A and B are shown apart, each in its own frame.
Chain A
Amino acid sequence: MKKSDLLEPIAGNGLLHRRLFLKSSVAAMGAAGLQFITAKVATAAPLEVPAWMQTPGTGMSGYGARSRHEEHIQRSFGSLPGTVGVGSSRTPLEHLEGIITPGALHFERHHNGIPDIAPLEHQLLIHGLVDRPLMFDLESLTRYPMVSRIHFLECSGNSGANNAPKPPQLPASSIHGLVSCSEWTGVPLAVLLDEAGVQSEGSWILAEGSDAAAMSRSIPMAKVRDDAIVAIYQNGEHLRPANGYPMRLFLPGWEGNMSVKWLRRIQVTSGPTMTKDETSKYSDLMPDGRSKLFTFPMEVKSLITSPSGTNAMQGAGLYQLSGIAWSGLGRIRRVEVSADDGRTWAEAALTDPVLPRAFTRFRLPWRWDGGPAVLQSRAIDETGAVQPTRTVLLGERGVNYRYHYNAIQSWAVSETGEVSNVYS
């Protein structure tokens, strides 16, 4: 491809080639190639020496805090009437970049508050269909061989707001913020189960939390053997209380509710326990009145986070579209972006690392001409699964399915630069 071709739109409404922002491409084209980026005119006044260079800064601290100028970046949250800890908080996706969610901004979903667990008193019981029922404490678990994995965690109710008949006019986080991505470190659960000796009929487990809801879910033994972790660390530090301190189950790629926090008990069973949170909740109601049980993996999904709902564009010109893609079934293979409501698509650049069952950051240059546009992203994972349109998804599932919403998100950009949520 000739370098000058990078400046020609490769899909409708101003989408440019994903290689435009690569260093080598820009250098080869020279400044002349980027003339459409109009520099702001500097004022004539002499440059001032900033105040923070003229006095010593503050000192060190034992545990760092972010800039006070960023303190307005917050999770949004709500609890059921009459409660403070039965609800969720949402990651401010539109304010974050890269793929790692800071622990303090990881989404939360609690069923009766965050327990204040004394780590030395916490114990993990493994019993049921095992040869030797065993107890483990935190100190002993830290002596086991550990693994570290970067994975997303997504509540299966995430994005359910887009089931509503009219598109909610909310920021991306309020619609899609029940997903986050961290490095999780812990002990493979299979090692602990092998120590207890799983009996031949033990084909499922029941995992239970040490919270006031004693939240519990059933998990097939095959998943446990495949990649289940008793996680102790998140992004290098001990789990935060809101994320399961001092230990939680972590099931890569599966609906978040199953990665039971504050893990205190594993019972090996011969079948699912049919808990409240796998029958009356987290089951998927179809239009014919039947419901699906055990729809575990979170399927391929993406959204553009910049720009996104309730944002305002800063005038016509060159922008970098940025977003996240993920799949509970493996790696993201490809993300395509449209600026003309899905009529034409351009392939986005995927930012390394591209890891299985993790956020993948995608980016694409876009020259906005100031006219109306509808921005969309469409992810494809390594199994070949393609993110569906909302019309297709709801056509298959109806609007009362409630969970596992993974349709393409459409953001409309108006001529005045307002970004809004639309159904394509």
Chain B
Amino acid sequence: MSIVSRIVWIYIALLACPAFAQEGPELGVAVTADQIASWAISVQPDGTGLPAGSGNAAAGAEVYAMKCLACHGSEGAGGLNDRLVGGHGTISSDTPVRTIGSYWPYATTVFDYIRRAMPLMQPQSLSNDETYAVTAYLLELNGIINEGDVMDAETVPNVEMPNAGNFIWIYSEK
């Protein structure tokens, strides 16, 4: 290969490199699925990531009274912090009230967020059953599920949230 063609090939190779095509020293340490499990707390809209366990609204009401009510108010409204219940039909008004029931597009997000971040003073302290139960209670207060409905890894992804159809993706993969 001539020097000129070699230079051309190097140039083409450089052009083809993405912005950050670099070699690293490969110091990552392999981990197993068992090790990862306690950290992998996110839940996808299709239910991927939901753990075993279950709960209904009645059980959730008891947990809520002990661990949620002080900040979020009786039956999910009227507390110092975010309102969780009500606001149905207000979203297109001049004074929208954004709650789980009136605004949130996915029930999986309710489970995910309670599990990772609530109660505020003791995050990640609820059991899976308690998390499913509080999820059920908040959905039931919002009139989205019925009183006896059990929330678990099968049912949460299938809950139809009233405002789910009103979200538009702006970012698109070209």
Contact = CB atoms under 8 A, between A and B. Distances in A.
A293 B123 CA distance: 27
Contact of B109 (A195, A264, A274): A274
A224 to B, nearest CB: 9
B91, B103, B108, B167: most-surrounded residue (chain A CB, <10 A): B167
B11 interface: no
A81 to B, nearest CB: 4
Interface string A104-136: 000000011000000000000111000011111
B7 interface: no
B117 A214 contact: yes
Interface stretch (B25-33, B58-66, B138-146): B25-33
Interface in A27-76: none
Contacts of B120: 83, 86, 112, 212
Interface string B7-32: 00000000000111111111111111
Given A133-B36, A196-B28, A213-B116, A279 B20 contact: no
B41 A289 contact: no
Interface residues of A, number: 66
Contacts of A136: 27-29
Contacts of A135: 28-31
A267 B42 CA distance: 9
A290 to B, nearest CB: 5
A133 to B, nearest CB: 5
B137 interface: no
A222 B19 CA distance: 11
A264 B29 CA distance: 14
B31 A191 contact: no
A279 B168 CA distance: 11
A273 B42 contact: yes
Contact of A280 (B23, B42, B104): B104
Interface stretch (A18-26, A139-147, A151-159): A139-147
B166 A291 contact: yes
A208 B42 CA distance: 9
Interface in B82-139: 91-92, 94, 96, 98, 100, 103-106, 108-109, 112-113, 116-117, 120, 123-124
Contacts of B105: 274, 279
Contact of A214 (B33, B104, B123, B166): B123
B123 A112 contact: yes
Contact of A191 (B24, B92, B169): B24
A59 B81 CA distance: 49
A98 interface: no
Contacts of A147: 20
B170 A267 contact: no
Contacts of B26: 195
Interface in A163-214: 187-188, 190-192, 194-196, 203, 206, 208, 212-214
**Sorted from nearest, which 4 A-B pairs have the closest CB atoms?**
A289-B92, A134-B28, A188-B20, A294-B171
Interface of B: 18-33, 36, 39-45, 71, 80-81, 91-92, 94, 96, 98, 100, 103-106, 108-109, 112-113, 116-117, 120, 123-124, 166-171, 173-174
Interface of A: 80-83, 86, 111-112, 125-127, 132-136, 140-141, 143-145, 147, 187-188, 190-192, 194-196, 203, 206, 208, 212-214, 216, 220, 222, 225-227, 264-265, 267, 269, 271, 273-276, 279-280, 283, 285, 287-296, 399-400
29 contacts: A111-B117, A112-B120, A133-B30, A133-B32, A133-B36, A134-B28, A134-B29, A134-B30, A143-B25, A144-B25, A144-B27, A190-B20, A203-B173, A213-B123, A225-B20, A227-B19, A227-B20, A271-B44, A273-B43, A274-B105, A275-B112, A279-B106, A280-B104, A291-B103, A292-B167, A293-B171, A294-B171, A296-B171, A399-B94
